[in-house]
């Protein structure tokens, strides 16, 4: 199942710099791991914001929920999720 996910990040400005660096390193490692697994299909930066638009391919909403909770930056995110399905007018559906 495909999901469109927008993640807006708001790390506190007063977070200890060493903790911030560790948090960002762990987030990057987790994102790369999920992309290599084929679960995090697309990852796009939103220009001018600390945000991204992503597409995940997971079995269901519960799997996506667990995945999002596994992200080190999760406590600092506002997340908006939209389930996706094929459109009947899409070229992929009408060769």
Report the CATH number that the domain containing residue 79 is assigned in CATH: 3.30.70.1060
Inside any domain, residue 93: no
18: domain range? 2-86
Q: What confidence score (pLDDT) does residue 48 get?
A: 97
pTM: 0.91
pLDDT at 84 over 90: yes
Specify the pLDDT at position 94: 76
Q: What is the pLDDT of residue 71?
A: 98
Q: Does 40 fall in a domain?
A: yes
Contact 68, 5 (CB under 8 A): yes
- Is-contact 21 29, C-beta < 8 A? no
- Average pLDDT value for residue range 71-84: 98
**Residue 65 neighbours by CB distance under 10 Å:** 13
Provide the β-strand partners of residue 51.
8
In the predicted model, is pLDDT for residue 93 greater than 80?
A: no
Give the total number of structural domains in the chain.
1
* Backbone region of residue 72 per phi and psi (left: phi > 0; alpha: psi in -120 to 50; beta: other values): alpha
H-only helix segments in 3-60: 17-36
Alpha-carbon span 33 to 38, nearest angstrom = 9
Tens-digit pLDDT profile for residues 29-63: 999 999 999 999 999 999 999 999 999 999 999 99
Asked if the structure places residue 79 within a domain, the reply is yes
């Amino acid at each position: 199942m495909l999901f469109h996910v927008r993640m807006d990040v708001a790390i506190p400005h007063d977070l200890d710099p060493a903790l911030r660096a560790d948090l960002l390193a762990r987030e990057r490692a987790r994102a790369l791991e999920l992309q290599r697994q084929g679960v995090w299909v697309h990852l796009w930066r939103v220009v001018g914001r600390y945000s991204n638009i992503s597409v995940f391919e997971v079995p269901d909403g519960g799997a996506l929920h667990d995945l999002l909770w596994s992200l080190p930056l999760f406590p600092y995110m506002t997340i908006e999720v939209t389930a996706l399905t094929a459109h009947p007018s899409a070229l992929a559906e009408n060769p």
